[in-house]
Amino acid sequence: MARLSLPAVSRLLVLLAACALLIAACGGDDKSEDATATPDSAQSVQDETGCQAVSDPGPKDVGKLAKPKERLSATKTYVATVSTNCGDFEITLDSKRAPKTGGSFKYLADKGFFDNTKFHRIEGNFVIQGGDPNGDGTGGPGYHVEEAPPSGLAYTRGVVAMAKTEIEPPGTSGSQVFVVVAEETPLPPDYALLGTVTKGLDDTIQKIAAVPVNGSQPIDPVVIRQIKVTER
C-alpha cells in the first residue's frame, strides 16, 4: 500500500491539465557505502543534467526508531543543509510554526536517516519528493507525528512540507518530504510545514526538477548524500 504520497485527486487534475500546471503533491539490505560515480555513464549524465552520475543506493535498513519528543526552540534558527549529487541546498526550518515537525526531522537527520537515500519522485512543474528509506514512496521511519499546519498555509515555490496519505489526518508526517517547485499549487493546508528553501532554489532545486524521468521517477538516481541540521 502506497504511503505518504499526495492525494489521488491531484493525479486526476494532472490528466485534465496536461499542458498546464502539473497538479500532484506532492526495509531491505542496508546499502551503507556512499553512492559512487559510474565511469561508463558519468560524463554523459553530467553533461545532460549537471548532476554527477552515481549508483542507485537501493533500500536502506533504518532499523527501529523510537518516536522522538524533540521540539525546535522558537528562539533559535535551524538550517538543514541537503547535499546531493546535483549540488547542495538549504532549508531554514520553521521553528516557530512547526517546532514538532522540525524536531522530528532534525532527530532523523542527526541519526543519519536520510543519508544515502534518494529523491524518488520528481515532477518538474510541481514538486520533488524524497526521504523514503525504501526509495519508492512506501517507506518511513516507523512512526508518525502530528502537528496542525498553519492556518491559510499556501504551498508555493520553495515551501518544504511533509507528505502523507489521503487517509491520514492533516499535519501527519513521517520522513517523506517535498519541495514545491511550482509558483503556486492548489493543495489544501493539510501537509505539515517543515520550512523554506533559503539557498539553492534557483540552481540545485531547479537542476533536480529538470532531470529526465519515467513518469515521476528519475531515470538516473538523484541521491541525498547527507542532511545536516545546524543552529545559526
Residues 220, 51: Cα–Cα separation, whole Å: 9
pLDDT at 159 exceeding the cut of 50: yes
pLDDT the model gives residue 43: 57
Which band of pLDDT confidence, cut at 50, 70 and 90, is reported for residue 151? confident
Average pLDDT over residues 26-47: 48
pLDDT at 27 exceeding the cut of 50: no
Instruction: Give the residue, 44 or 19, on which the prediction is more confident.
Output: 44
* Residue boundaries of the structural domains of the chain: 8-28+70-231
pLDDT the model gives residue 44: 58
Average pLDDT over residues 192-207: 98
pLDDT at 35 exceeding the cut of 50: no
Which band of pLDDT confidence, cut at 50, 70 and 90, is reported for residue 181? very high
Sign for the CA dihedral angle at 55, 30, 110, 151 comes to positive
Residues 154, 171: Cα–Cα separation, whole Å: 14
Whole-Å CA distances, 77 to 181, 215, 231: 24, 37, 6
Residue 80 CA, chain-centre distance (Å), reads 12
pLDDT at 155 exceeding the cut of 50: yes
Tens of pLDDT, residue by residue over 211-232, are: 999 999 999 999 999 999 999 9
Residues 181, 96: Cα–Cα separation, whole Å: 23
- Percent of all residues in the chain with a pLDDT value above 70, rounded to a whole number: 80
Longest dimension (CA), the chain: 50
- Classify each residue of 36-74 as buried b or exposed e, where b means 16 or more C-beta atoms within 10 Å of its C-beta: eeeeeeeeebbeebbbbbbeebbbbebeeeeebeebbee
pLDDT at 163 exceeding the cut of 60: yes
- Percent of all residues in the chain with a pLDDT value above 90, rounded to a whole number: 78
**C-alpha angle with apex 68: 133 to 163, nearest 5 degrees?**
45
- Classify each residue of 89-112 as buried b or exposed e, where b means 16 or more C-beta atoms within 10 Å of its C-beta: bbbbbbbebbbbbbbbbbbbbeee
Contact present, 223 and 37 (Cβ < 8 Å): no
Q: Is 85 exposed, middle or buried (0-12, 13-18, 19+ CB in 10 A)?
A: buried
Which band of pLDDT confidence, cut at 50, 70 and 90, is reported for residue 49? confident
Cell numbers placing 225: 548524500
Tens of pLDDT, residue by residue over 56-113, are: 999 999 999 999 999 999 999 999 999 999 999 999 999 999 999 999 999 999 999 9
Which band of pLDDT confidence, cut at 50, 70 and 90, is reported for residue 40? low
CATH number for the region 8-28+70-231 comes to 2.40.100.10
Tens of pLDDT, residue by residue over 165-176, are: 999 999 999 999
